[in-house]
Structure 1
Amino acid sequence: MSVTNTPITSQVSAPVTTGPCGEDDCGIRDVLDRLGDRWTVLVIVELSKGTRRFRELHRAIPGISQRMLTLTTKRLCRDGLVERNAYPTIPPQVDYRLTEMGRSLADTVFGLADWSRDHKNAIAAARDRWDADHPGAEPALR
């Protein structure tokens, strides 16, 4: 039996399994995969500043290709986090804005950023201690 499926017994209740949803992944992996991709959080952060046209988004996010921005915004629209408005002009104009759910995600992202800033030094110190205690550890763990 793997560690993730090992039952944990409690004196108060029946055995429960590890993980936020027990044995069922309850869709959390799909959501975390979306949020954990390279560009989603950057697009969310930029749109938290207000409505942006495609070119504005593209310029504001260094390193993102046009194709990847298109894929990312489509996925975010499909997930209900971003709203896309196309205007019948020549050339066509398109802008993007966060939905209410997207704004709540942005708040969570900013909370995570605050947590990261607050704990940056403690994490660096823990890594230094780990490296000192495990001199032969694989470079991937450094």
Structure 2
Amino acid sequence: MVKPSPVKPSAIALGTVFNHGVELAVMTPLFGETYRRAKIANSSEEFVKSKEASSAAVAWGTSLVGSALQAYGVGALINATGTLSYKGATYLGALIYMATAAPTYLTQLLSEKRPVDTVAVSATAKAFETVGLSLFLTWWGTRTNPFN
């Protein structure tokens, strides 16, 4: 039985921050609306009970958890494949991107006929989350014991 390769906790933490930052950049319109509602609310209690506050909290929380899981998964793949170079990390990130995101964007463009600029922003953010995260984690290091 193959034992899963552990990933450095610092790599998971920094990868989470990296990915969460990218996610927050994409979700900025949601938080902008939430901030506007907070300013016009009569009281903080009214704002806390609002739909915008709860949806922003859910979006932020799920983004944080998803970022942590993705950071661990990419780190584990880097360890499992023995990726040591930036070129290898780029290939690994591109493979993750093509397997997870590319089908969605093709569907959005070809079947759903969504605007190209909207799809392009989302695709660029996802490329940072996959290829960028792979490069970042390779730079930082993911192995708990590099001599194993």
TM-score tier after normalising by the smaller chain length: under 0.3
More strand by share: 1
Higher relative contact order (CA 8 A, sep 6+): 2
Q: TM-score under structure 2 normalisation?
A: 0.26
TM-score of the two chains, using structure 1 as the length reference: 0.27
